[in-house]
Structure 1
Amino acid sequence: MQRRRKSIIGLACLMSAMLLFSSCGKEAEEEKQDTQTQADTEKEEPKEKEGQGNLNIISPQAYSNVDGLTLEPGTYISLIGKEAGTEYWKMVEKGAKQAVSELNSALGYKGEDKIKLNYSGPSESESVDEQINILDEELARYPNAVGIAIIDSNACSVQFDLATENGIPIVAFDSGSDYQGLQSLCSTNNTEAAQTAAVNLATALDNKGKVLVFVHDSKSTTARERQSGFADTLAKDYPEVEIAEVVYLDNLEDVKGLLAEKKNQEAKINPEDEKAAQKEDFTDEQAIQYILEQHPDVTGCFTTNVDATQKILSIVNEMKQSKDTKQAEAAENLKIIGFDGGEKQMEALENGELEGLVVQNPYGMGYATAIACARSIANQGNEAVVDTGYVWVTKDNMEDKNISRILY
């Protein structure tokens, strides 16, 4: 009887062990299947390459890839921006270098055979003279093509003629000119982008009020297009939103002169006296603050690039700390819409200092410009205008996937 009981107990233990091993085997198989499923999913959904979001909004899409392009070994492409080292221009350079890297990979070029790209720009923002000097130096190296963001639309014609005579194609990017020999313009649709800014600023102001427009310069086509696109939209669709003044930030000398006269009058100094204040004694920031103070009823501002936006933000933030209660309150309630991205711009947007931003696509612009240069060298023809796109960014949508992957 005791032996029989032991046998039954032994059999029960054996059955339990078999069930345990069966369960473990089943779990292991299920885990293996889950792992395989995950691996298959990863194969089906390859990781998006860096910058793909920026390339997706380029039109035509032929300028977002290197397909079908063949260049000779050692081809040299020169890109000249409006500035050397700021975030925007670094992204232009990054996009252009990515395009050239893909070309080298596609063509199998290594070492000295590689297609070479050089990006350069003025050390001082939007210096026309320095940009022309850089262009002269680059043309002396006989590049196979030049891409240039033209600061002054009336400059460079002599250099462009020389390039044409030597068979060097010129592609404009960011900002162009009326020069007839340009192969292509790779740029934001500035008129449309400014219209977007106008609609959103008018909406923020409940479709009424006065605004100031701060334009980054009086020379470039980008400045003209953004200013006119903004003004035309307000005049057509928002007649109760009035532009109190358009201020060109490269033309503040008259305002500085007024400040000097005012200081002299207050101090009762003869203007001919050697100790009298001169317009050179005043900064751009002081001139801009004076303009803002002359328009206490203004409730909105539109700034046309990153430099203009940052200058206005800095001055308005100072005015918010003013002991003059009315001035501080007016600055606090001022709604600002600007252009371009970058870390500081995003911080200002998140902090509520900016109502919104029209953010361009400098990475895509650089990429498309390199492709346009390559097409010119290969005699494949170019679109007259390549739209590199933009996005409207607010505090509410800046984390959205389709927006965030384009920001810089």
Structure 2
Amino acid sequence: MKKKLLAALISVAMVATLLAGCGGGGDTTTTDTTTDAAAETEETTDAAETEETADAEATTDNSGLHLEIVSKGLQHAYWQAVLNGVNSKAEELGVTVNFVGPDSESNIQQQVQQLETALNANPSAIGLAALDTNSVMDLLQTAVDSGIPIVGFDSGVPGAPEGAIVANCSTDNLAAGGIAAQEVYKLISDRIANAEGTVRIGVVAQDATSESVVNRGLGFIQEMASLVADSGKTVGMASVSNERYVTDSGVEVNDEADVVIEVRVPASVTSELSAADASAILEQEDTIAIYGSNEHSANGIITANENLNKCGTGEGQVIAAGFDSGASIMQAVRSGVFAGAVTQAPVAMGEQLVETLVKAANGETVEDIDTGCQWYTAENMDDPEIAQNLYE
């Protein structure tokens, strides 16, 4: 019996040896089978991990989490759209949220008080869009000492001490302002090239303190200056321009340049003063374009144009552009008063903010999120990809 078994084993070994010597085909088949098996195993593992993650997220009980969110205001349609995104995601994740903002985006002290109240509520996490970082430095330290994570949104909390802000959910405002400049330049490049004297481009800015507003203005100025310089023309800032925009843009004051960029900032944030600034720019005969760096400023241009009727895309009209959405700006774009505008994604920003706050509250690692922007015109504003980011 043992001899028969030994003979059988020897026969099997000989057959295996012969097969191995018959070229590479057998090896290839074996390798492919192994690879396929490994791939199937990896796919199965990935699927199992994904399912486990989904199950974990589904079963996570967030009902004990309370979030405080301090915005820059509630008066603009933009903040209402952010709030809609916040409420939608909060309901989905089962967390409670208190969303507040000052009566005006120039009321820094009121926001400071609201942030202090938010900290006193001992929340799981705080969302903050700071009007002025310096004004909340002490409160940021209080949050760190209390172990309360803060997530910045919109313009975030620029210049905050290291570790005070765990992540930001915001638009890259410099890049967004640059997009507006690129689109406007396409429409005025021939007028700049053929001009025999100075031409003027106006920028209406709500303030010189809010980082998002400032960066949208700076992004526009710097990109426009670069485009003009590349065309062989000289560019300078108007002597009446706001000092911060002159200093931070790096564009020297020169009222006699081929292209003069004039920046106006009101003494306080009111619709009347912003409309007056826009009028002062539009009334100058050499103005060929004007840009409002947020909803408030863009609305100021619209109000000024109602009396002056200077803006449009027709021959000799001033090319106007805005930033943000809102009913008035959308109508201005649709009617041709504005050539176009840049919109953020406020609803998505609100949703992403809540998701990030919940993760931070649960001790998870969080990262900065660029919430994006798009240039919209009368031709594309009804496209689903654009329309989802427009808010009234």
The aligned residue for residue 187 of structure 2 is 204
Deviation string, structure 1 residues 265-295 (Cα, Å, up to 9, x no partner): xxxxxxxxxxxxxxxxx955445433443x3
* Equivalences for residues 161-180 of structure 1 within 5 A: 161-176=141-156, 177-179=158-160, 180=162
Distance 1:245 1:382, change over 3 A: same
Cα distance in structure 1, aligned partners of 2:220 and 2:152: 23
Maintained 8 Å contact 2:274/2:297: no
Q: Are positions 1:133 and 2:113 aligned together?
A: yes
Calculate the TM-score normalised by the size of structure 2: 0.70
- Structure 2 residue matching 1:183: 3-state secondary structure: strand
The aligned residue for residue 316 of structure 1 is 305
Maintained 8 Å contact 1:216/1:250: no
Q: Are positions 1:229 and 2:219 aligned together?
A: yes
The aligned residue for residue 297 of structure 1 is 286
Maintained 8 Å contact 1:244/1:298: no
Cα distance in structure 1, aligned partners of 2:320 and 2:143: 42
Maintained 8 Å contact 2:202/2:281: no
Q: Are positions 1:219 and 2:209 aligned together?
A: yes
Q: Are positions 1:390 and 2:373 aligned together?
A: yes
Distance 1:355 1:156, change over 3 A: same
Q: Are positions 1:90 and 2:73 aligned together?
A: no
Q: How far has the Cα of 1:251 moved from its partner?
A: 6.3
Maintained 8 Å contact 2:106/2:269: no
The aligned residue for residue 156 of structure 1 is 136
* Equivalences for residues 3-402 of structure 1 within 5 A: 68=57, 70=60, 72-104=62-94, 115-176=95-156, 177-179=158-160, 180=162, 181-207=164-190, 208=192, 209-239=199-229, 240=233, 242-250=259-267, 283-293=273-283, 295-320=284-309, 333-383=317-367, 385-402=368-385
Maintained 8 Å contact 2:342/2:374: yes
Cα distance in structure 2, aligned partners of 1:219 and 1:403: 29
Maintained 8 Å contact 2:105/2:131: no
Cα distance in structure 1, aligned partners of 2:55 and 2:180: 33
Calculate the TM-score normalised by the size of structure 1: 0.68
Q: How far has the Cα of 1:305 moved from its partner?
A: 0.2
Maintained 8 Å contact 1:320/1:331: no
- Structure 1 residue matching 2:296: 3-state secondary structure: helix
> Where in structure 2 are there 5+ consecutive unaligned residues?
1-53, 193-198, 236-258
Deviation string, structure 1 residues 223-267 (Cα, Å, up to 9, x no partner): 2321221122122223247343112234699xxxxxxxxxxxxxx
Cα distance in structure 1, aligned partners of 2:357 and 2:322: 30
Maintained 8 Å contact 2:106/2:268: no
Distance 1:199 1:283, change over 3 A: closer
- Structure 2 residue matching 1:146: 3-state secondary structure: strand
Equivalent position amino acid for 2:153 in 1? F
Distance 1:118 1:390, change over 3 A: same
Q: How far has the Cα of 1:187 moved from its partner?
A: 0.6
Deviation string, structure 1 residues 128-175 (Cα, Å, up to 9, x no partner): 111111111111111111101111233211111111111111111001
Deviation string, structure 1 residues 79-134 (Cα, Å, up to 9, x no partner): 11111243211111111111111212xxxxxxxxxx21111111223421111111
Q: How far has the Cα of 1:331 moved from its partner?
A: 12
Q: How far has the Cα of 1:206 moved from its partner?
A: 2.5
Distance 1:334 1:67, change over 3 A: farther
Maintained 8 Å contact 1:210/1:298: yes
- Structure 2 residue matching 1:154: 3-state secondary structure: helix
Equivalent position amino acid for 1:238 in 2? V
Cα distance in structure 2, aligned partners of 1:367 and 1:66: 21
Q: How far has the Cα of 1:191 moved from its partner?
A: 1.4
Maintained 8 Å contact 1:339/1:359: yes
Count of aligned positions: 299
Compare relative contact order (CA 8 Å, sep 6+) and give the higher one, 1 or 2.
Answer: 1
Maintained 8 Å contact 1:80/1:149: yes
Maintained 8 Å contact 2:204/2:278: no
Maintained 8 Å contact 2:126/2:149: yes
Equivalent position amino acid for 1:310 in 2? N
Moved more, 66-75 or 241-250: 66-75
Identity of aligned residues (%): 26
Equivalent position amino acid for 1:403 in 2? I
CA-based RMSD: 2.8
Deviation string, structure 1 residues 170-201 (Cα, Å, up to 9, x no partner): 11100121112111111111111111100111
- Structure 1 residue matching 2:165: 3-state secondary structure: coil
Deviation string, structure 1 residues 345-379 (Cα, Å, up to 9, x no partner): 11111111111010111101111111111111111
Cα distance in structure 1, aligned partners of 2:127 and 2:176: 23
